[in-house]
Amino acid sequence: MPSTSPARQPLPPQAPAAAPVKALGVAAMVVTVVLWASAFVGIRAIGPHFSPGSLTLGRLAIAAVVLAFLVVPQLLKSRLLPMGREWLPILAYGVMWFGGYNVALNAAEHILDAGTSALLINVNPILVAIMAGIFLKEGFPRWLLIGSTVAFAGVALIALGSGQPRTPGEGSTADLAGVALCLLAAVLAAVSVIIQKPVVRKFPAAQATWFGIVVGALCCLPFAGQLAAEVQAAPPQATLGLVYLGVFPTAIAFTTWAYALSLVDAGKLAATTYLVPGTTVLISWLLLGEIPTAWGLVGGLVCLVGVGLTRRRSRADRLRQQRFQR
């Protein structure tokens, strides 16, 4: 049975978090969105030099080393490690999210452009909201459902624009194999968010992230030989890009995500990732010259509106918060 030590028991329900804590949660979400958006562009940029499995291993290995400098001293001081069944959800999201998700996404971006990949991955928040309502008992707030629907419509508009041929006679970028890989990645990510939520209630965000990264890296060890060969053949810029992916969108962004997840309902937090496709399109436009379509720009604005709606609260929720604050 799981340990019943008080140090690892979930915290009891409390009054709504103070304003500084809420501000930190919002800041963590902003960092996550920007860095995850940059990851789509980074993968696209260095993809020609690294195969999907080796890119995943390199990215996770770098992230594991970087986070170890923060996490290992904490573990040595507290001497608190997951025990028994506490490892099961960590192993699950380590394999599915840090391993499977990244391999599937890397493979997809060998076929699709960065913006299209980002928008296809963003069926994820809808899946998270549904599963969080069912399995985490977060319910189905009206504005969450309305906002998610509006934001998903924005994603569809971006998809419509991104799937059009760039020039007459050119094939659609939305290749079926790439679409299938992105949808697989979205499912793996959505399930992992639900599994990770209870873990971040017991362990600090950096530790929960590091455990998952190490598990994912161990799963990708069969690609070690391939990674070594590709690093030797790759230009310095591609290797630096791999380092960037490991440090920023992985070590930092997944930690800020886990921290935000410890403060915010999974469904509401996942809805903010609808901001990723628009951010990705902008970064891809600036760095890779992938010019967004008019449909893409309109879709990005619709996504912003949808995310704003998910943050609204019903009158009953506002009254409940007022009672807590008295």
Contact yes or no for 217/61 (Cβ under 8 A): yes
What's the pLDDT at 316?
53
Radius of gyration over every alpha carbon of the chain, rounded to an integer in angstroms: 20
**Hey, what are 180's tokens?**
């299938």
| Inter-residue long-range contacts of 165-172, CB under 8 Å, 24+ positions, other chains counted | none
Distance CA(41)–CA(181), nearest Å, equals 17
Nearest to 185 by CA among 272, 126, 271, 118: 118
Contact yes or no for 25/260 (Cβ under 8 A): yes
Q: How many residues does the chain have?
A: 326
What's the pLDDT at 3?
45
The helix or strand, by DSSP H or E, that contains position 320, with its residue range, turns out to be: helix 315-325
How many Cβ atoms sit within 10 Å of the Cβ of residue 14?
7
Which three-class secondary structure state does DSSP give residue 3?
coil
Q: What is the pTM of this model?
A: 0.77
Contact yes or no for 164/172 (Cβ under 8 A): yes
Distance CA(248)–CA(31), nearest Å, equals 10
The helix or strand, by DSSP H or E, that contains position 237, with its residue range, turns out to be: helix 236-245
Nearest to 238 by CA among 86, 6, 44, 100: 44
pLDDT in tens for each of the 326 residues of the chain? 444 444 455 444 444 444 565 678 788 888 999 999 999 999 999 999 999 999 999 999 999 999 999 999 999 998 889 999 999 999 999 999 999 999 999 999 998 888 878 877 877 777 777 787 787 777 778 887 888 888 888 877 876 765 555 544 444 544 678 888 988 998 999 899 889 988 988 899 899 999 999 999 999 999 999 999 999 999 999 999 999 999 999 999 999 988 888 887 776 777 777 788 888 888 888 888 876 667 777 877 887 788 778 767 655 555 444 443 44
Contact yes or no for 262/291 (Cβ under 8 A): no
- Our CA angle for 28, 92, 137, nearest 5°, is 65
Nearest to 175 by CA among 162, 190, 157: 162
Distance CA(250)–CA(38), nearest Å, equals 11
Which three-class secondary structure state does DSSP give residue 318?
helix
**Hey, what are 108's tokens?**
């997809």
Checking phi first, is residue 289 left (phi over 0); if not, alpha (psi -120 to 50) or beta?
A: left
What's the pLDDT at 20?
60
Amino acid at 302: V
